[in-house]
Amino acid sequence: MREGIMMIKHIFLDMDNTLLNSQGNISIQTLHFLQKTALPITLVSARAPMEMDFAIKDLALRNAQVSFNGGLIFEKKQNKKTSVFSLPLECTDTYKLLKLVTVDYPQVSVSWYTRNTWYARKVDKGTLYESELTGFQPELLDNISVEALKSEPVYKIMIISFANETLKNIAEKINELSLNICVKFSGHNYLEITGSNATKNNAIAYIQASQNLKQEELAAFGDGQNDIEMFKAVGTPIAMENAANNVKKYAKFITLSNDRDGIVYGIKKYLL
């Protein structure tokens, strides 16, 4: 038994390329191991709540979960989601961003998420890629107005491009606008925009305070740029083997990849 076993009281897990393997599934070994784990588990994902449902159900999670990179914290009880914390994008910022990207970068895939719906202007290579990953289809909406955005707040804007330089250019142009937003790369093909305070570290801090936990009692697993702030918020940050090198340098430990049950290995080796 390792010295730290009594210290860790909560585990935070990124989903894509961390909990989920390359096929977008939880492996049988990881599933069975986590189902038996006594420690509370919170998924901390850029995904929408509906895209997290299968993992919450399979793992029988009953505590607070984090979606939209921290924009929405919710609990699921008796098949009903209750918001614990909510921080959508400002509607004027959303309108400016959607107009900018669709006009100046028509070659990229742009879509946006409200609490319960994934919207896109059209079906394209990016939305097809995302649909294959999540199993959901976007609702097509060509006409966007500030009034509509006020009535149905947006939590995340998602830009998909298979040309990495294009995403970098878009990020630079968006940051020049000085809006109240947070712009993060997720993997090689995604650029995700949320409210400025909708970050994984702020979500963890919220849960930490609500449960009166200390930083050294928290552990987290992740692989992407949007997990770096999460790593800074916990006492034991663990990067997946498949994580980028600039993410690994913020980790205390490196576990196996998401295709080799890295979470199971990491918990057994570094937390137990």
Which pLDDT score, from 0 to 100, does residue 272 have? Answer: 86
b (16+ CB within 10 A) / e for 13-23: bbbbbbbbbee
Query: In the prediction, which pLDDT does 144 show?
Result: 86
Q: Do 216 and 176 belong to one domain?
A: no
What is the C-alpha separation between 193 and 20, in angstroms, rounded?
Answer: 22
The pLDDT, as a whole number, for residue 81 is 85
Task: Determine which of 1-5, 27-31, 138-142, 182-186 has the lowest per-residue pLDDT on average.
Answer: 1-5
* pLDDT, tens digit (0-9, with 9 covering 90-100), for 194-217: 999 999 999 999 999 999 999 999
Contact 206, 74 (CB under 8 A): no
pLDDT of residue 4: 43
**55-90 residues labelled b (16+ CB within 10 A) or e (exposed):** bbeebebeebbbbbbbbbbbebeeeebeebbebbbb
Band (pLDDT 50/70/90 cuts) for residue 35 is very high
- Secondary structure in 3-state letters for 99-123: HHHHHHCCCCEEEEECCCCEEECCC
pLDDT at 80: 81
Q: Which of 147, 173, 195 is the last residue of a domain?
A: 195
Q: Say whether pLDDT at 39 is over 60.
A: yes
Half-sphere exposure of 157 (CA within 13 A, CB side): 29
What is the per-residue pLDDT for 5? 46
CA distance 83 to 128: 29
pLDDT digit string, tens, across residues 218-232: 999 999 989 999 999
pLDDT tens digits for range 118-127:
999 999 999 9
Report the predicted TM-score, pTM, of the whole model to 2 decimal places.
0.92
Of the candidates 41, 116, 109, which has an alpha carbon nearest to the alpha carbon of residue 72?
Answer: 116
pLDDT at residue 37, rounded to an integer: 92
Q: Which band of pLDDT confidence, cut at 50, 70 and 90, is reported for residue 148? A: confident
Q: With pLDDT > 90 as the criterion, what percentage of the chain qualifies?
A: 86
Q: Are residues 63 and 9 in the same domain?
A: yes
pLDDT at site 76: 82
Provide mean pLDDT across the span 64-88. Answer: 91
Mean pLDDT over all residues of the chain? 94
Question: Which of these three, 195, 211, 245, is where a domain ends?
Answer: 195
What are 194's two structure tokens? 């949320």
CATH of residue 106's domain is 3.30.1240.10
User: Is 167 in the same domain as 247?
Assistant: no
**Which structural domain range is residue 234 located in?**
3-87+198-271
At 142 the pLDDT is 84
The CATH number covering residue 243 comes to 3.40.50.1000
User: How much is the pLDDT for 157?
Assistant: 98
Asked if 65 and 56 count as a contact pair (C-beta separation under 8 A), the reply is yes
Domain count, the chain: 2
